Amino acid sequence: MATMRLLHLALLVRAGVRSFTTHRAPLPRNLSLPSPTTLPSSILHRHALRPQRPFSHTAGRRNEWRDPRRHDPYERLRGAKPLFTSEGFSRFIRSPSLHTVIAISVGGAVIFYFSNIQTVPVSGRRRFNCYSEAKVIAAGEAQAKRIEWELERAGKRFLDDWDWRTRLVRKVMQRLIPVSGMEDSQWEIKVIDDPHTANAFVLPGGKVFVFSGLIPIAGNEHGMAAVLGHEIAHNLAEHVGERMSSQLGANILLYSLITLTGGIGILVTSWMGNAILDLVFSRPMGRRQEAEADYIGLMMMAEACYDPHEALGFWERMRRMSEQGPPEWMSTHPSHSNRIQKIQEWMPKALEKLQESDCQGTAGFASLFRQALVGRNYMEKRDDI
Protein backbone atom coordinates (compact mmCIF):
# COMPACT_ATOMS: atom_id res chain seq x y z
CA MET A 1 0.00 0.00 0.00
CA ALA A 2 2.79 2.41 0.82
CA THR A 3 4.48 1.55 -2.46
CA MET A 4 1.33 2.45 -4.39
CA ARG A 5 1.13 5.84 -2.67
CA LEU A 6 4.74 6.58 -3.52
CA LEU A 7 4.14 5.66 -7.14
CA HIS A 8 1.03 7.86 -7.23
CA LEU A 9 2.97 10.78 -5.76
CA ALA A 10 5.74 10.34 -8.31
CA LEU A 11 3.22 10.46 -11.14
CA LEU A 12 1.72 13.66 -9.72
CA VAL A 13 5.15 15.27 -9.49
CA ARG A 14 5.90 14.23 -13.06
CA ALA A 15 2.61 15.71 -14.32
CA GLY A 16 3.19 18.91 -12.30
CA VAL A 17 -0.37 18.96 -10.94
CA ARG A 18 -2.02 18.70 -7.59
CA SER A 19 -4.40 16.07 -6.41
CA PHE A 20 -7.96 17.27 -6.04
CA THR A 21 -9.08 14.50 -3.69
CA THR A 22 -11.20 15.83 -0.92
CA HIS A 23 -9.87 13.46 1.74
CA ARG A 24 -6.57 11.76 2.16
CA ALA A 25 -5.71 9.30 4.87
CA PRO A 26 -2.70 10.22 6.98
CA LEU A 27 0.51 8.38 6.36
CA PRO A 28 1.77 5.97 8.91
CA ARG A 29 4.12 7.50 11.42
CA ASN A 30 6.89 5.11 10.57
CA LEU A 31 6.74 6.22 6.90
CA SER A 32 7.93 9.49 5.46
CA LEU A 33 7.97 10.95 2.02
CA PRO A 34 11.15 10.22 0.22
CA SER A 35 13.47 13.10 -0.46
CA PRO A 36 13.86 14.24 -4.04
CA THR A 37 17.15 12.43 -4.18
CA THR A 38 15.36 9.09 -3.65
CA LEU A 39 13.31 9.58 -6.87
CA PRO A 40 14.65 8.27 -10.13
CA SER A 41 17.03 10.66 -11.88
CA SER A 42 15.00 10.61 -15.13
CA ILE A 43 11.94 11.87 -13.27
CA LEU A 44 13.92 14.64 -11.57
CA HIS A 45 15.53 15.68 -14.85
CA ARG A 46 12.21 15.94 -16.70
CA HIS A 47 10.65 17.74 -13.76
CA ALA A 48 13.45 20.33 -13.68
CA LEU A 49 13.12 21.08 -17.40
CA ARG A 50 9.34 21.47 -17.39
CA PRO A 51 7.95 24.54 -15.53
CA GLN A 52 5.15 23.86 -13.15
CA ARG A 53 1.77 25.37 -13.91
CA PRO A 54 -1.70 24.99 -12.45
CA PHE A 55 -4.06 22.46 -13.84
CA SER A 56 -6.04 23.95 -16.75
CA HIS A 57 -7.79 22.73 -19.86
CA THR A 58 -6.94 25.93 -21.84
CA ALA A 59 -3.95 25.95 -24.14
CA GLY A 60 -0.86 27.68 -22.91
CA ARG A 61 -0.23 31.25 -24.12
CA ARG A 62 3.03 33.00 -24.74
CA ASN A 63 3.87 36.03 -22.71
CA GLU A 64 2.93 39.03 -24.85
CA TRP A 65 4.83 41.55 -22.73
CA ARG A 66 8.02 42.73 -24.34
CA ASP A 67 10.87 44.83 -23.25
CA PRO A 68 9.66 48.47 -23.56
CA ARG A 69 13.10 49.59 -24.61
CA ARG A 70 12.72 47.64 -27.83
CA HIS A 71 9.64 49.64 -28.82
CA ASP A 72 10.65 53.18 -27.87
CA PRO A 73 9.09 55.41 -30.59
CA TYR A 74 11.95 57.88 -30.30
CA GLU A 75 14.70 55.28 -30.58
CA ARG A 76 15.04 55.69 -34.35
CA LEU A 77 14.86 59.45 -34.13
CA ARG A 78 17.78 59.49 -31.71
CA GLY A 79 19.89 57.62 -34.17
CA ALA A 80 18.59 59.38 -37.30
CA LYS A 81 20.95 61.43 -39.41
CA PRO A 82 20.21 65.18 -39.79
CA LEU A 83 18.55 66.30 -43.01
CA PHE A 84 20.93 69.22 -43.50
CA THR A 85 24.54 69.05 -42.46
CA SER A 86 27.33 71.53 -42.96
CA GLU A 87 29.30 68.97 -44.91
CA GLY A 88 26.38 68.11 -47.18
CA PHE A 89 25.58 71.77 -47.71
CA SER A 90 29.20 72.47 -48.65
CA ARG A 91 29.12 69.68 -51.21
CA PHE A 92 25.85 71.05 -52.58
CA ILE A 93 27.31 74.55 -52.95
CA ARG A 94 30.43 73.23 -54.70
CA SER A 95 28.43 71.04 -57.06
CA PRO A 96 29.15 71.89 -60.74
CA SER A 97 25.57 71.05 -61.70
CA LEU A 98 24.30 73.65 -59.24
CA HIS A 99 26.56 76.29 -60.77
CA THR A 100 25.21 75.42 -64.20
CA VAL A 101 21.60 75.69 -63.04
CA ILE A 102 22.29 79.04 -61.36
CA ALA A 103 24.02 80.43 -64.44
CA ILE A 104 21.18 79.37 -66.74
CA SER A 105 18.52 80.70 -64.34
CA VAL A 106 20.24 84.05 -63.87
CA GLY A 107 20.82 84.44 -67.59
CA GLY A 108 17.20 83.61 -68.38
CA ALA A 109 15.95 86.01 -65.70
CA VAL A 110 18.09 88.85 -67.06
CA ILE A 111 16.86 88.28 -70.61
CA PHE A 112 13.25 88.08 -69.42
CA TYR A 113 13.63 91.27 -67.38
CA PHE A 114 15.12 93.46 -70.10
CA SER A 115 12.71 92.15 -72.73
CA ASN A 116 9.82 93.50 -70.62
CA ILE A 117 11.21 96.96 -69.82
CA GLN A 118 8.90 99.87 -70.66
CA THR A 119 9.22 103.64 -70.55
CA VAL A 120 6.41 105.77 -69.13
CA PRO A 121 5.87 108.67 -71.59
CA VAL A 122 4.95 111.32 -69.02
CA SER A 123 7.82 110.87 -66.58
CA GLY A 124 10.31 108.94 -68.72
CA ARG A 125 10.55 106.39 -65.92
CA ARG A 126 11.82 102.93 -66.84
CA ARG A 127 9.81 100.07 -65.42
CA PHE A 128 9.37 96.28 -65.60
CA ASN A 129 5.96 95.08 -66.78
CA CYS A 130 5.51 91.50 -67.98
CA TYR A 131 1.70 91.23 -67.83
CA SER A 132 -0.49 91.76 -70.85
CA GLU A 133 -3.51 94.04 -70.72
CA ALA A 134 -5.86 91.04 -71.02
CA LYS A 135 -4.37 89.35 -67.95
CA VAL A 136 -4.54 92.56 -65.95
CA ILE A 137 -8.21 93.06 -66.89
CA ALA A 138 -8.99 89.46 -65.89
CA ALA A 139 -7.31 90.07 -62.54
CA GLY A 140 -9.31 93.29 -62.12
CA GLU A 141 -12.60 91.54 -62.78
CA ALA A 142 -11.78 88.85 -60.22
CA GLN A 143 -10.84 91.55 -57.71
CA ALA A 144 -14.11 93.38 -58.36
CA LYS A 145 -16.14 90.26 -57.59
CA ARG A 146 -14.17 89.72 -54.40
CA ILE A 147 -14.73 93.32 -53.30
CA GLU A 148 -18.47 93.09 -53.94
CA TRP A 149 -18.64 89.88 -51.92
CA GLU A 150 -16.71 91.44 -49.02
CA LEU A 151 -18.91 94.54 -49.02
CA GLU A 152 -22.08 92.48 -48.96
CA ARG A 153 -20.65 90.33 -46.20
CA ALA A 154 -19.89 93.48 -44.19
CA GLY A 155 -23.49 94.63 -44.57
CA LYS A 156 -22.76 97.44 -47.03
CA ARG A 157 -25.18 98.28 -49.81
CA PHE A 158 -24.84 99.97 -53.17
CA LEU A 159 -26.82 103.14 -53.81
CA ASP A 160 -29.57 103.00 -56.40
CA ASP A 161 -29.09 104.52 -59.83
CA TRP A 162 -31.63 107.25 -59.09
CA ASP A 163 -29.75 108.40 -55.95
CA TRP A 164 -28.28 111.89 -56.46
CA ARG A 165 -24.82 110.69 -55.39
CA THR A 166 -24.82 107.93 -57.97
CA ARG A 167 -26.03 110.37 -60.64
CA LEU A 168 -23.23 112.78 -59.71
CA VAL A 169 -20.55 110.14 -60.16
CA ARG A 170 -22.07 108.95 -63.44
CA LYS A 171 -22.21 112.50 -64.79
CA VAL A 172 -18.53 113.06 -64.08
CA MET A 173 -17.56 109.71 -65.60
CA GLN A 174 -19.54 110.51 -68.77
CA ARG A 175 -17.21 113.46 -69.35
CA LEU A 176 -14.00 111.74 -68.32
CA ILE A 177 -14.38 108.47 -70.24
CA PRO A 178 -14.25 110.09 -73.73
CA VAL A 179 -10.98 111.88 -72.92
CA SER A 180 -9.45 108.81 -71.27
CA GLY A 181 -8.99 106.87 -74.50
CA MET A 182 -10.64 103.87 -72.79
CA GLU A 183 -14.10 104.00 -74.35
CA ASP A 184 -13.98 100.29 -75.19
CA SER A 185 -13.83 99.24 -71.53
CA GLN A 186 -16.91 97.72 -69.92
CA TRP A 187 -17.53 100.54 -67.47
CA GLU A 188 -19.53 99.73 -64.36
CA ILE A 189 -20.08 102.36 -61.65
CA LYS A 190 -21.01 101.48 -58.07
CA VAL A 191 -21.41 103.91 -55.17
CA ILE A 192 -21.19 102.32 -51.70
CA ASP A 193 -23.39 103.75 -48.97
CA ASP A 194 -20.67 104.37 -46.37
CA PRO A 195 -20.51 107.98 -45.13
CA HIS A 196 -17.55 107.20 -42.87
CA THR A 197 -15.18 106.12 -45.65
CA ALA A 198 -13.61 108.59 -48.07
CA ASN A 199 -12.18 106.46 -50.84
CA ALA A 200 -12.55 105.66 -54.53
CA PHE A 201 -10.77 103.37 -56.98
CA VAL A 202 -11.07 102.19 -60.57
CA LEU A 203 -10.09 98.59 -61.32
CA PRO A 204 -8.77 97.40 -64.68
CA GLY A 205 -11.63 96.69 -67.05
CA GLY A 206 -13.71 99.71 -65.99
CA LYS A 207 -15.03 98.75 -62.54
CA VAL A 208 -15.53 102.01 -60.58
CA PHE A 209 -16.11 101.99 -56.80
CA VAL A 210 -16.83 105.22 -54.89
CA PHE A 211 -17.63 105.42 -51.18
CA SER A 212 -20.28 108.00 -50.35
CA GLY A 213 -18.07 109.53 -47.64
CA LEU A 214 -15.82 110.95 -50.37
CA ILE A 215 -18.54 113.04 -52.01
CA PRO A 216 -18.73 115.78 -49.31
CA ILE A 217 -14.94 116.15 -49.42
CA ALA A 218 -14.96 116.45 -53.21
CA GLY A 219 -17.50 119.24 -52.84
CA ASN A 220 -18.75 119.38 -56.44
CA GLU A 221 -18.35 117.90 -59.90
CA HIS A 222 -14.92 119.48 -60.38
CA GLY A 223 -13.56 118.01 -57.17
CA MET A 224 -15.01 114.61 -58.04
CA ALA A 225 -13.40 114.90 -61.48
CA ALA A 226 -10.02 115.40 -59.81
CA VAL A 227 -10.47 112.18 -57.83
CA LEU A 228 -11.86 110.03 -60.64
CA GLY A 229 -9.37 111.40 -63.16
CA HIS A 230 -6.58 110.34 -60.84
CA GLU A 231 -8.02 106.82 -60.50
CA ILE A 232 -8.58 106.43 -64.25
CA ALA A 233 -4.98 107.54 -64.81
CA HIS A 234 -3.71 104.54 -62.86
CA ASN A 235 -5.33 102.26 -65.42
CA LEU A 236 -4.26 104.39 -68.37
CA ALA A 237 -0.63 104.18 -67.22
CA GLU A 238 -0.96 100.42 -66.53
CA HIS A 239 0.17 100.77 -62.95
CA VAL A 240 -1.68 97.63 -61.85
CA GLY A 241 0.30 95.46 -64.27
CA GLU A 242 3.49 97.08 -63.04
CA ARG A 243 2.67 96.26 -59.43
CA MET A 244 1.82 92.68 -60.34
CA SER A 245 5.13 92.37 -62.20
CA SER A 246 7.09 93.79 -59.29
CA GLN A 247 5.52 91.25 -56.94
CA LEU A 248 6.50 88.46 -59.32
CA GLY A 249 10.10 89.65 -59.45
CA ALA A 250 10.25 90.13 -55.69
CA ASN A 251 8.98 86.60 -55.07
CA ILE A 252 11.53 85.11 -57.47
CA LEU A 253 14.34 86.98 -55.74
CA LEU A 254 13.10 86.03 -52.28
CA TYR A 255 12.73 82.31 -53.04
CA SER A 256 16.13 82.30 -54.71
CA LEU A 257 17.68 83.59 -51.50
CA ILE A 258 15.86 80.93 -49.49
CA THR A 259 17.09 78.21 -51.86
CA LEU A 260 20.69 79.42 -51.74
CA THR A 261 20.62 79.39 -47.94
CA GLY A 262 19.55 75.75 -47.99
CA GLY A 263 16.21 76.47 -46.34
CA ILE A 264 17.95 77.62 -43.14
CA GLY A 265 16.13 80.43 -41.39
CA ILE A 266 13.23 80.51 -43.85
CA LEU A 267 11.01 82.61 -41.62
CA VAL A 268 13.76 85.11 -40.85
CA THR A 269 14.80 85.32 -44.49
CA SER A 270 11.21 85.72 -45.65
CA TRP A 271 10.35 88.40 -43.10
CA MET A 272 13.52 90.40 -43.62
CA GLY A 273 13.38 90.00 -47.39
CA ASN A 274 9.78 91.19 -47.60
CA ALA A 275 10.48 94.13 -45.32
CA ILE A 276 13.54 95.22 -47.30
CA LEU A 277 11.89 94.81 -50.70
CA ASP A 278 8.82 96.70 -49.51
CA LEU A 279 10.84 99.59 -48.13
CA VAL A 280 13.36 99.82 -50.97
CA PHE A 281 11.21 99.01 -54.02
CA SER A 282 7.45 98.81 -53.39
CA ARG A 283 6.92 102.03 -51.46
CA PRO A 284 9.06 104.27 -53.71
CA MET A 285 7.37 102.75 -56.76
CA GLY A 286 3.95 103.51 -55.24
CA ARG A 287 4.89 107.16 -54.68
CA ARG A 288 6.11 107.50 -58.27
CA GLN A 289 2.90 105.95 -59.59
CA GLU A 290 0.79 108.31 -57.50
CA ALA A 291 2.69 111.32 -58.85
CA GLU A 292 2.19 110.12 -62.42
CA ALA A 293 -1.53 109.57 -61.81
CA ASP A 294 -1.85 113.05 -60.27
CA TYR A 295 -0.34 114.63 -63.39
CA ILE A 296 -2.29 112.55 -65.92
CA GLY A 297 -5.55 113.01 -64.01
CA LEU A 298 -5.02 116.77 -63.82
CA MET A 299 -4.55 116.98 -67.59
CA MET A 300 -7.57 114.76 -68.22
CA MET A 301 -9.93 116.83 -66.06
CA ALA A 302 -8.71 119.99 -67.80
CA GLU A 303 -9.43 118.50 -71.24
CA ALA A 304 -12.89 117.51 -69.99
CA CYS A 305 -13.47 121.22 -69.17
CA TYR A 306 -13.24 120.82 -65.40
CA ASP A 307 -11.46 123.51 -63.42
CA PRO A 308 -8.02 122.13 -62.41
CA HIS A 309 -7.92 124.52 -59.45
CA GLU A 310 -10.47 122.26 -57.77
CA ALA A 311 -7.76 119.60 -57.47
CA LEU A 312 -5.87 121.94 -55.16
CA GLY A 313 -9.00 122.53 -53.09
CA PHE A 314 -9.65 118.80 -52.78
CA TRP A 315 -6.15 117.98 -51.52
CA GLU A 316 -6.26 120.94 -49.15
CA ARG A 317 -9.42 119.51 -47.58
CA MET A 318 -7.84 116.06 -47.43
CA ARG A 319 -4.83 117.49 -45.62
CA ARG A 320 -7.01 119.20 -43.02
CA MET A 321 -9.03 116.04 -42.40
CA SER A 322 -6.15 113.60 -42.30
CA GLU A 323 -4.39 112.80 -39.08
CA GLN A 324 -0.64 112.94 -38.74
CA GLY A 325 0.55 109.97 -40.78
CA PRO A 326 3.91 108.26 -41.14
CA PRO A 327 6.81 109.98 -42.91
CA GLU A 328 6.54 110.04 -46.68
CA TRP A 329 9.47 107.64 -47.14
CA MET A 330 7.50 105.01 -45.20
CA SER A 331 4.29 105.46 -47.20
CA THR A 332 3.13 104.30 -50.62
CA HIS A 333 1.57 107.73 -51.27
CA PRO A 334 3.11 111.20 -51.35
CA SER A 335 2.20 113.51 -48.52
CA HIS A 336 -0.69 115.90 -49.10
CA SER A 337 1.68 118.86 -48.90
CA ASN A 338 3.93 117.37 -51.56
CA ARG A 339 0.93 116.68 -53.78
CA ILE A 340 -0.31 120.24 -53.45
CA GLN A 341 3.13 121.57 -54.31
CA LYS A 342 3.38 119.41 -57.44
CA ILE A 343 -0.12 120.35 -58.62
CA GLN A 344 0.78 124.01 -58.26
CA GLU A 345 3.82 123.40 -60.46
CA TRP A 346 1.67 121.66 -63.08
CA MET A 347 -1.16 124.19 -62.96
CA PRO A 348 0.08 126.39 -65.88
CA LYS A 349 0.20 123.31 -68.11
CA ALA A 350 -3.29 122.25 -66.98
CA LEU A 351 -4.74 125.71 -67.64
CA GLU A 352 -3.19 125.64 -71.08
CA LYS A 353 -4.90 122.30 -71.73
CA LEU A 354 -8.19 123.77 -70.52
CA GLN A 355 -7.93 126.68 -72.96
CA GLU A 356 -6.97 124.41 -75.85
CA SER A 357 -9.80 121.97 -75.20
CA ASP A 358 -12.94 122.30 -77.29
CA CYS A 359 -14.92 120.71 -74.44
CA GLN A 360 -16.40 118.21 -76.84
CA GLY A 361 -15.05 115.21 -75.00
CA THR A 362 -12.32 114.33 -77.50
CA ALA A 363 -9.56 112.06 -76.25
CA GLY A 364 -6.63 114.39 -76.74
CA PHE A 365 -4.02 114.03 -74.01
CA ALA A 366 -5.04 110.51 -72.97
CA SER A 367 -4.93 109.20 -76.55
CA LEU A 368 -1.52 110.72 -77.12
CA PHE A 369 -0.32 109.18 -73.87
CA ARG A 370 -1.54 105.71 -74.84
CA GLN A 371 -0.09 105.99 -78.35
CA ALA A 372 3.24 107.09 -76.94
CA LEU A 373 3.23 104.23 -74.44
CA VAL A 374 2.46 101.57 -77.05
CA GLY A 375 4.68 103.06 -79.74
CA ARG A 376 7.70 103.54 -77.50
CA ASN A 377 7.49 100.04 -76.10
CA TYR A 378 7.21 98.65 -79.64
CA MET A 379 10.30 100.55 -80.78
CA GLU A 380 12.23 99.44 -77.71
CA LYS A 381 11.42 95.80 -78.40
CA ARG A 382 12.52 96.20 -82.02
CA ASP A 383 15.80 97.69 -80.84
CA ASP A 384 16.30 94.73 -78.52
CA ILE A 385 15.75 92.36 -81.43
Residues tagged active-site? 231
- Three-class SS string for the chain? CHHHHHHHHHHHHHHCCCCCCCCCCCCCCCCCCCCHHHCCHHHHHHHHHCCCCCCCCCCCCCCCCCCHHHHCCCHHHHHCCCCCCHHHHHHHHCCHHHHHHHHHHHHHHHHHHHCCEEECCCCCCEEECCCCHHHHHHHHHHHHHHHHHHHHHCCCCECCCCCHHHHHHHHHHHHHHHHHCCCCCCCEEEEECCCCCCCEEEECCCEEEEEHHHHHHHCCHHHHHHHHHHHHHHHHCCHHHHHHHHHHHHHHHHHHHHHHCCCCCHHHHHHHHHHHHHHHHHHHHHHHHHHHHHHHHHHHHHHCCCCCHHHHHHHHHHHHHCCCCCCHHHCCCCCHHHHHHHHHHHHHHHHHHHHHCCCCCCCCHHHHHHHHHHHHHHHHHHHHC
